[in-house]
Every structure is written in structure tokens, then in C-alpha cells.
Structure 1
Amino acid sequence: MPLASPGSLMFLAAALLWPPATRRWALLPLAMAYGWAWTQGGIEPAALAWPALLVLAAVLARPALAPAARGAGHTLFLILAVLLFLHWLPGFHNTLVIPRAALTPDAVPFAMYLNLDKPLVAFWVVLMAAPAMAGASARATLMAALAACAGAIVVCLGGGLALGVVGWAPKWPDSGWLWLLNNALLVTLAEEALFRGYVQERLARCWRDRAWGATAALLIAAVLFGLAHYAGGWQWMLLAGVAGVAYGLAYRHGGLAAAVLAHLGLNAAHYALFTYPMRAALQ
């Protein structure tokens, strides 16, 4: 992917979401990325309807409005989030940046697209729902991320070896740095924003007066995260659900940054050291 491309602006927009001082400016490079993609055929006019509906969802979901309006806003957001994650909304032509190929002889062929649709979910959650972006301190955030990442690597990748869905396959393709940048700034941020920053956070708030509330919220978000990996079969749904528990714990103790770092660490270990995305024998 060339440095001068809509993707570079998407990366910049996502990076600006993190520091509080720059967060409100994140929509500027996002809008510029969309404008640039328009000139290159990456989006059609129909695609502009979905950010507009996300804005409507944000307006309706404001705490000052009546419960019925807030409910409508959150329902609209959830419908759009699911459809954006599944790439089912028309108007987007996401750019293929890593051509389809098997990274190792035993692997299912892998391709990577620069998504213009799915990352919109992260922008809505961070700017509208305002989840905790970090823990009580930088040390707390980092420790939560490291503990969750280490646990997820041992259990999930170890479980993947035991189930036969991955094998030991150390590598670092030439496109690895682009994969890492995209995973860090767009993929893991979007997924953790939805499942931890929105689902887990909102359920925990709803059940904050219940002794079991925080745990139930974490587990429900983890189960939904596992179900979102249905395309990989029951093995990946199981492993993703377990990983979701680790990310949920990271979020509880270190905010969204810890969850994203834990998720990125597991994904990077999977990509660099094991069959990626999975063994072809399972297909």
C-alpha cells in the first residue's frame, strides 16, 4: 500500500482517537480518507448513507433524550455495527492490499483488505460511548495487557495446536509490517471497541448494582465475540470465546488500550509463529 493513499489517512484517523487532546480531530482525516477513496472508486454515493445513519444514532442515543429515543439510537447503532462488520452494506469497495496466497504450505490462502466500513464502528464507540481508554495508570494498563496477552497465547494458541487448527510455522512475510499496522490501528481497535468498549461496558453499567453484573457482562461479550468467528468453525468460535475472556479482563483492569494490546499481541504471535489463518486441512 503506498504511503500516499486513503489507507494512510485511515491509520492517522485511528491513531488520533487515542490521545484526548487529538480525539475530536480524528474525524477530519477520516473524512479526507473517504473523499480520497471516492476519487479512486473505493466508495460509491450509497456508502455515505451509513456514516449519516451513525450520526443519527449518536444524536438519538444522547443521555439527555427520552429512554425511547436512546433505545432507538442504540438499536440503530447495533444494526449498523453488525452489517459493517460483515461488510454487507453497499457502496464500499475495500482495497486489496495483500493478494491472496498461502503464507505457509499448510495454510489456507490469506488476503487482506483495507476496510473503509468496519472501522466506522470504532469511531462511533470511542467518540459517542466514551469507554475507558486506559487503566488507572500506564503501568496498570500495560500489566493488564501483558497478563491477558500471555494467558491468551498459552491457552488459545496452545488449544489451537491441540485441536489441530494451527501448526508451528515461524515466518515474517514481506507484507508483515503492513499487516501489523492494519491490525493495530484498525482491526483490533474496531473489534475491541464493539465487544468490550460497547457491549461489555454497557451491560456492566446496566448491571452495576448486581454482584454478578461485571462478570456476566464480560462473559456475554466473550460469547458474542466467539460467535462472530463462526466462519472458522466450532474450533475458532471456542478459541475466540476464550480469547474474549482474556480481552475482557484486560479491559476491566486496563481499559480499551489494554484490550487492544492483548488482542494485537495474540494476533501477532499467531501470524508470526503459527499457521495463519488456519490449516488448510480443516477446509
Structure 2
Amino acid sequence: MHALPWVAIFLAAVSVVVRGPRLSTLGLLALGYGLAFGFGVLQPLAAIPITLLAGTGLLLQRDPPPAARLLCNLVFVALAIGLFQHWLPGFHNLQVFHAERLTPDAAPFTMYLNFDKPLIGFWLVLTYPWIQPEKDWRALAVSAVAACAATSLICLSIAFVAGSIAWAPKWPHLGWLWALNNLLLVAFAEEAFFRGYVQGGIARLAVDRPHAQWVALVVGAVLFGALHFQGGALLVVLATVAGLGSGLAYRAGGLQAAMLTHFGLNLIQFGLFTYPFIARV
């Protein structure tokens, strides 16, 4: 598979993270997905959800009536579920790891560079700028470090005691690509949706109600945990706790802080512990 589409998409994600010009993000996205269609990586059916996302995003920029706004958001949520679960046809994601055991005791690990899932994050930050609130860099750094440290300690301790992971320092040959993907595509899409759209959206809708911020944080974390249901009950619990940590980071330091918290937890496990978990005999 040609690398050029991925270079453009990664650069578009970097543009978002550093709060680059909106036009640069749009241009890089158009280039990346255009090349993907041109090289045959994306099939014509993939144009349907991409067109729907572009259309609803443009309509919402025009401040439509409440009914139209609600319809656009319902269409987005339906598409987001399909994109998260890789249910929508036409996307041929690039397989990087295929059932590899990163350590002898680890379960087989498969990883894709996804064309579908990142669309969720890009749609959100381009349609609703409030999802990416401006924060002082000190607040961003402090909240990310504190939330990552606390979340990692709690989650990895629970997983270790439960026998799901063990001490296993390593750095696989494609670890750098795993890191780029996890930060710029995975953490970006998931944090934009669960922290920005769900947590931030509930907080905005209920801004005048007591404890709305805390309710929003918990709802976002619980839904994030539920997304991991295929990994079993323990993973749901761990993802919920991780979601609470990222949610606190989002409140204090914005989207970038939530992304760094999410990525930091994953990076510590990837580099120092069994990944993704100890194989079940």
C-alpha cells in the first residue's frame, strides 16, 4: 500500500494537535483521502460516509434550525458508531501487525492504520471548534502528566494484580509506527468523541445545572468503557477508569491533554508490560 495517503493524514492530525490553520487541515485531508481513492485503497462505497460527514459538517456551519441540527448530529453519531466498529464498507485499512506476539507470554496482537476511524475526530474538530478549547500550555502539560501518572498507576496496578499483564520491557521494530498511530489517530478520534463531543457537549447543554461537569465526565467515561466490551469485563472497567483520567485532563488542559493522557497510559503498557495482555491458555 502506498505511503503517501498516510503521510498526508498524519500531517493533518499534527495540524489539528498544534492548532494549525483550518485550511491546512482540510487541504491535507483532501490530499490524503484523494490519494487513497486514486490508489484504490478506498473503494467508491467509502465516498458515501465521507460525503455524509462533509455535508452535515457544512450544514452545521450555517447554523441550521434545531430540527436540522439534531438530524445532522444523529447522522454523525450513526456514522461514528459504524466507523468506530469498522462496519462501513469501502475502507481497506493497512495491516501493520498481524497476530504477532510482542513477548512470549502475550496474546497475538494485530494493528491496522485505519482510514475510517480518524474521520470521527477530524469531523468533530472541524465542525465544533469548542471541542478543542484553548488552554495555557502549562495547564495542558501539568494536567496531562498528572492524569497520565495517576491513571497509569491505577489501571496498570489493577491489570497486574488481576494477572492480565506482567513486567515485560520491550520496543518492537515498528514501535514508532504504533506510537504515531496511537497518538495521532486512535487517541485523537476517541478523545475527540468521548471527551470533546460527549463530555464537552453534555457540559455545554447543562451548563446552568449543578454538578453538570461531573455528570458529563462520568457519562463520557462509562460510554468509553462500554466501547471496549469485546475485551471482557476487566477491560471495560479499566477503560472506564482511564476515561475518568482523560476526562479530568480534558477539563483542565483541553483535548491535547486528554490525548496525551490516553497515549501515555498505552505507551507505558506497550513499552514496559505485556501487550495487549497475557495469553489465555
Say yes or no: TM over 0.5: yes
Structure 1 residue 168, shift from structure 2 partner? 1.2
Give unmatched runs, 5+ long, in structure 2: none
Equivalent pair of 1:144/1:250 in contact (CA under 8 Å): yes
SS of the equivalent of 1:17 reads helix
Equivalent pair of 2:168/2:272 in contact (CA under 8 Å): yes
SS of the equivalent of 1:26 reads helix
SS of the equivalent of 1:88 reads coil
State the partner residue of 1:136.
135
SS of the equivalent of 1:280 reads coil
Q: Distance in 2 between matches of 1:52 and 1:193?
A: 20
State the partner residue of 1:261.
260
Q: Distance in 2 between matches of 1:142 and 1:132?
A: 18
Equivalent pair of 1:135/1:141 in contact (CA under 8 Å): no
Tell me the TM-score normalized by structure 2. 0.95
Over the aligned positions, Cα root-mean-square deviation in angstroms equals: 1.6
State the partner residue of 1:208.
207
SS of the equivalent of 1:98 reads strand
Q: Distance in 2 between matches of 1:213 and 1:202?
A: 11
Q: Distance in 2 between matches of 1:120 and 1:53?
A: 11
Deviations 1:206-238 (A, max 9, x none): 111111100000000000000001111000000
Q: Distance in 1 between matches of 2:111 and 2:22?
A: 27
State the partner residue of 1:156.
155
- The alpha-carbon distance between structure 1 residues 179 and 21, as it changes in their structure 2 partners (threshold 3 A), is closer
Give unmatched runs, 5+ long, in structure 1: none
Which AA in structure 1 matches 2:167?
W
State the partner residue of 1:69.
68
Equivalent pair of 1:134/1:141 in contact (CA under 8 Å): no
Which AA in structure 1 matches 2:28?
P
SS of the equivalent of 1:281 reads coil
Q: Distance in 2 between matches of 1:123 and 1:181?
A: 16
SS of the equivalent of 1:197 reads helix
Structure 1 residue 135, shift from structure 2 partner? 5.3
State the partner residue of 1:176.
175
SS of the equivalent of 2:17 reads coil
State the partner residue of 2:36.
37
State the partner residue of 2:250.
251
State the partner residue of 2:225.
226
Structure 1 residue 57, shift from structure 2 partner? 2.0
Which AA in structure 1 matches 2:128?
A
Equivalent pair of 2:143/2:252 in contact (CA under 8 Å): yes
Percent identity, aligned pairs only, is 47
Structure 1 residue 22, shift from structure 2 partner? 2.2
Equivalent pair of 1:106/1:281 in contact (CA under 8 Å): no
Equivalent pair of 1:165/1:278 in contact (CA under 8 Å): yes
SS of the equivalent of 2:280 reads helix
Structure 1 residue 147, shift from structure 2 partner? 0.8
State the partner residue of 1:53.
52
Q: Distance in 2 between matches of 1:40 and 1:64?
A: 36
- The alpha-carbon distance between structure 1 residues 38 and 64, as it changes in their structure 2 partners (threshold 3 A), is closer
User: Matched residue pairs, number?
Assistant: 281
Q: Distance in 1 between matches of 2:8 and 2:97?
A: 18
Q: Distance in 2 between matches of 1:132 and 1:81?
A: 16
Which AA in structure 2 matches 1:42?
V
SS of the equivalent of 2:130 reads coil
SS of the equivalent of 2:86 reads coil
Q: Distance in 2 between matches of 1:131 and 1:145?
A: 19
Structure 1 residue 132, shift from structure 2 partner? 4.8
Q: Distance in 2 between matches of 1:35 and 1:59?
A: 19
Tell me the TM-score normalized by structure 1. 0.95
